[in-house]
Copies of this chain bind each other. A is one copy, B any other.
Amino acid sequence: MAVILVKGTLSKMSEVDLVRRIGRWGRHAPAPASSLVHGIGDDCAIYRPRGCREDLLFTTDLLIEDVHFRPSTHRPDDVGWKCLARGLSDIAAMGGEPRFCLVSLAVAEWAGARWVEGFYRGLLRLARREKTGLAGGDLARAAKVTCDIVVCGAVPRGRALRRDGARAGNAIYVSGALGGSALGLGARAGKAWKRHLRPEPRLALGRFLRELGATAAMDLSDGLSLDLRRLCDASGLRAEITRPPIYPGATLDQALHGGEDYELLFTAPPRVRVPEEFEGLPLTRIGAMRRGRPGVTLDGQPLEALGWDHFA
């Protein structure tokens, strides 16, 4: 549910400002009897069904032709895979287990029955692996292929990992190495390109971190500099970091500001022993949360929240 920057279109509103405004408008339309535990501004919304031991997580993500993918370089099964992977990554970030998805697909003139079939093939391959049911959706015709996916996940009641849970003194970690997706998008070949096309949602890691006692988590969809800033804003703290682990061949800029790595960014108290790796994936301490005005410093210098530019 990472809200995407709408540059140019809404020139007088920053993304943060717009999300805040929508959140404010939304407060005038509350769900009945506190069943909506957590709303706008995190990876997922949290809904508590009446008399139930589980909380349900909901996330929604748009994937649009010529914004998030290009028909000339992205095969339909890659598009379908990525569409679901983005939603599953939000569920992973909250420590959840996926349950089902709903897929709304608007199909452009150029995309025929074979394209639609390829799209669903890629999406359902990942859905099967991650035990995520396809519950339904909608189909329409449009000028550009536009897909909106909703994924529902579940966590034990009150246990979802949120962005606002970090405390001063908590260590900051990332999984894997960063910048691979941005590198791949530039190169259009090799392992990094595959990583860009078929991101891996870190579902097992997210559940592990929830059980381990992480205090906050989110997925790195828009770049470390922007996403960590969001975690700082939500938790009301600042972050001091050093260089993150960099994907082989990527630049520091790609690791800091490149988006779509879909690794997890998380915080944990010093007493929690975070292992050096989880199922072969490195977990690296990159800094600590401190009291102070929300913001990020890298090796003592302010780090601008550039993040992933969808319109570059």
Which of A's residues lie within 8 Å of B, judged by CB? 1-4, 6-13, 15, 18-19, 21-22, 25-26, 28-32, 35-36, 39-42, 44-45, 47, 49-54, 56, 58-62, 64, 66-68, 99-100, 102, 104, 106-109, 111-113, 116-117, 120-121, 124, 127-128, 131-144, 146, 148, 150, 152, 154, 310-311
Contact = CB atoms under 8 A, between A and B. Distances in A.
Nearest to A22: B120
A99 B140 contact: no
Given A9-B112, A138-B148, A141-B311, 13 more contacts: A1-B136, A6-B139, A7-B141, A13-B113, A26-B134, A40-B136, A45-B135, A50-B52, A50-B54, A51-B51, A58-B152, A60-B104, A67-B142
A221 to B, nearest CB: 11
B135 A31 contact: yes
A61 to B, nearest CB: 6
A10 B67 CA distance: 23
Contact of A51 (B8, B19, B53, B121): B53
Nearest to A139: B3
Contacts of A21: 117
B39 A136 contact: yes
Contacts of A25: 120-121, 124, 134
A15 B139 contact: yes
A140 B67 contact: yes
Copies in the complex: 2
Contact of A139 (B4, B53, B120): B4
Contacts of A136: 1, 39-42, 44-45, 58-60
B141 A4 contact: yes
Contact of A124 (B28, B45, B54): B28
Nearest to A102: B60
Contacts of A66: 143
Nearest to A42: B136
A140 B29 contact: no
Nearest to A44: B136
B133 A36 contact: yes
Contacts of A116: 10, 18
Identify which of A9, A36, A310 gathers the most chain B CB atoms within 10 Å of its CB.
A9
Nearest to A126: B29
Contacts of A47: 99-100, 135, 152
A28 B139 CA distance: 20
A10 B62 contact: no
B102 A150 contact: yes
Contacts of A111: 9
Nearest to A45: B135
Given A39-B133, A148-B148, A3 B138 contact: yes
Contact of A141 (B2, B107, B120, B310): B310
